Amino acid sequence: KNNELIKNSTFDIYRVAGKDSKFRALYFHIPYCEQICTFCPFSREINTDHDVHEKYVEALVKEIRIKSQYENVGNIPVDSIFFGGGTPSILSPSLIKKIGAVLNECFDLSQLKEFNYECHLTTVTEDRLQALKEIGVTHPRMGVQTFHPQYRKFFNLVEGTDLIFEKVALLKKYFSIVTVDMLYGMHGQKIDDFIKDLHYAVQLDTSNIDVYPINNVVTQAKLGKELRENDMEATTGFTKAQMNVLLRNYMRNNGYHPHNGHGYVKVSKEIITENPVVTDCYRFQYHEAHYGYKDHDIIGFGSGAFSITDGFVIGNNTNSKKYISDLIEKDHLDMNIYEFDPVICESKGISFHLPYHGEADKAKINFELVKPEVLERLDEVISAGLVVEDKTHYRLTELGWHWYGNLLFYLSPDSEQETIMKYIDRGSKLTNRYVEDWNIDFEFDTAKDLVMN
């Protein structure tokens, strides 16, 4: 913790953090769920008590009002808003409207490009969707994950799938842009089952489908135990790579084209023909901040939320009860503040934006400050035919696009690669893989170790 930056209160870090932002996203964390999905690595807890939700929203509103008083937070136009969790849609319509009112009051939303809100199928109701529409939500998202009954049971999801089609239809009634999330690469998953999942996802006929490889490092121990008891062997990296190639071909054949590493958008055949690798006719703006350039940042609100700005990573306390009591009773918020050399962020355009979005704008990168090993590796992948270069941009080739996940790692600076390997090694040795344990037990050797991870 850099106490020199904290003059009068813990919030005074925001006098410094985020001052050079050119692209701003706001993240709001709602930690409550009706049940816990066993693949979920995020800060969350089971709680359906409206009174508790009300107290949490009171604390969240207070954090918003305090932080937005700082010029670096309240006066910079917002490009993207994202509500994650947990289950944000667990909140009642009145609480949703209460948060929406303070957002419009405290932030400059004149340049807002999208407003994302995560939903769970059991909490997608007419009155909630009306409230979301009223506060300006444009991009609701719902986790489907899989249609396979065995994996739905493993993941602690609602086992019936008819409700998925019903709730997606309800979302589409209110919003023209709807995203569903899918997972693949689960232990024991067969190619045929993967294709069936993609078939049903396409049948939902949403504007967007995001498909993620499962991250076994951060899943719950309970899931690992059930998979072992059912003799479900881990999917190999090579098989996941095959699935990734199959995924892209299947989605394109069904009218969905990649817009980033995980995301597909429904487009015309002409757009796919025009650029067979990746489209920019749609861009997920929150990931434009998360996988962006040096001056793209995120300001986080809520228990367990992170702010990631040029030179700082600021993490709120993950304990929701403490979060509520500290803010309501003390005007205080425990934050872990990591300061690092902002020069390292100049590599983000190459390390993050290029692999994940398929292109990098040279004009947005100060090459004199990019880590030398990053530029060396960039030359290597160009020579290998994974990336092409013109006067203004670097772009992934079709071959490079298949290996974007590897490129995210390979094009990162040495210090970040070391941190990732250390994180994986530490996580693989944990006996109980709840994210709360990681937040308590994991220590970074240097403050800058946290950036870009």
pLDDT tens-place string over residues 352-386: 999 999 999 999 999 999 999 999 999 999 999 99
What's the confidence (pLDDT) of residue 8? Answer: 54
What's the confidence (pLDDT) of residue 219? Answer: 79
Per residue in 132-173, pLDDT tens?
Answer: 999 999 999 999 999 999 999 999 999 889 999 999 999 999
What's the confidence (pLDDT) of residue 437? Answer: 37
Instruction: Give DSSP secondary structure letters for 92-161.
Output: -HHHHHHHHHHHHHHS--TT--EEEEEE-GGG--HHHHHHHHHHT--EEEEEEE---HHHHHHTT--S-S
Q: List 80's β-bridge partners, or say none.
A: 25, 114
Query: Mean per-residue pLDDT for 24-53?
Result: 91
User: Which of 18-27, 250-259, 329-338 bottoms out in mean pLDDT, i.e. has the lowest?
Assistant: 329-338
Angle at which helix 320-330 crosses helix 50-68, to 10 degrees, equals 60
CB 119 within 8 A of CB 89: yes
Encoded amino acid at 195, one letter: I
What's the confidence (pLDDT) of residue 190? Answer: 93
Q: List 389's β-bridge partners, or say none.
A: 394
CA dist 5 → 9, 296, 305, 307 (Å): 10, 22, 20, 16
What's the confidence (pLDDT) of residue 434? Answer: 41
CB under 8 Å to 288, separation ≥6 — which residues?
23, 25, 79, 80, 296, 357
What's the confidence (pLDDT) of residue 431? Answer: 59
What's the confidence (pLDDT) of residue 442? Answer: 36
CB 38 within 8 A of CB 219: yes
Strands 179-184 and 114-119: unpaired
- The Cα–Cα gap between 378 and 250 comes to 29
- pTM confidence score: 0.91
Of 125 and 216, the one with more pLDDT = 125
* Residue 9 in this model has a pLDDT that exceeds 80: no
Query: Mean per-residue pLDDT for 11-30?
Result: 92
Q: Map tokens 């996203």 to a residue.
A: 25
**Mean pLDDT over the full length of the chain:** 90
CB under 8 Å to 160, separation ≥6 — which residues?
none
- The Cα–Cα gap between 64 and 115 comes to 17
- The Cα–Cα gap between 295 and 308 comes to 10
* Residue 429 in this model has a pLDDT that exceeds 70: yes
User: Which of 92-96, 386-390, 410-414, 446-450 bottoms out in mean pLDDT, i.e. has the lowest?
Assistant: 446-450
Residue percentage of the chain with pLDDT more than 70: 92
* Residue 25 in this model has a pLDDT that exceeds 70: yes
Rounded to 5 degrees, φ, ψ at 340 are -140, 170
What's the confidence (pLDDT) of residue 423? Answer: 80
CB 317 within 8 A of CB 333: yes
Q: List 140's β-bridge partners, or say none.
A: 117
Long-range contacts of 220-226 (CB under 8 A, 24+ apart): 220/36, 220/38, 220/39, 220/40, 220/433, 220/434, 221/430, 221/431, 221/432, 221/433, 221/434, 222/38, 223/38, 223/39, 223/154, 223/155, 224/433, 226/38, 226/154
Question: What's the maximum distance between 2 C-alpha atoms anywhere in the chain?
Answer: 60
Q: Which two tokens stand for residue 209?
A: 């489908």
CB atoms within 10 A of CB 363: 8
Quick one: pLDDT band at residue 54, thresholds 50, 70, 90? very high
- The Cα–Cα gap between 444 and 1 comes to 12
Of 360, 350, 357, nearest in space to 283 by CA = 357
Per residue in 163-216, pLDDT tens?
Answer: 999 999 999 999 999 999 999 999 999 999 999 999 999 999 999 999 999 887
Alpha carbon of residue 28 to chain centroid: 12
* Residue 52 in this model has a pLDDT that exceeds 80: yes
Query: Mean per-residue pLDDT for 426-438?
Result: 54
Q: Which residues of 285-295 are buried (b: 16+ CB within 10 A; e: fewer)?
A: bbbbbbbbbbb
Quick one: pLDDT band at residue 435, thresholds 50, 70, 90? very low
Per residue in 277-315, pLDDT tens?
Answer: 999 999 999 999 999 999 999 999 999 999 999 888 999
* Residue 121 in this model has a pLDDT that exceeds 50: yes
Per residue in 242-265, pLDDT tens?
Answer: 999 999 999 999 999 999 999 999
What's the confidence (pLDDT) of residue 453? Answer: 32
Report the run of H or E that residue 398 belongs to, with start and end. helix 398-402
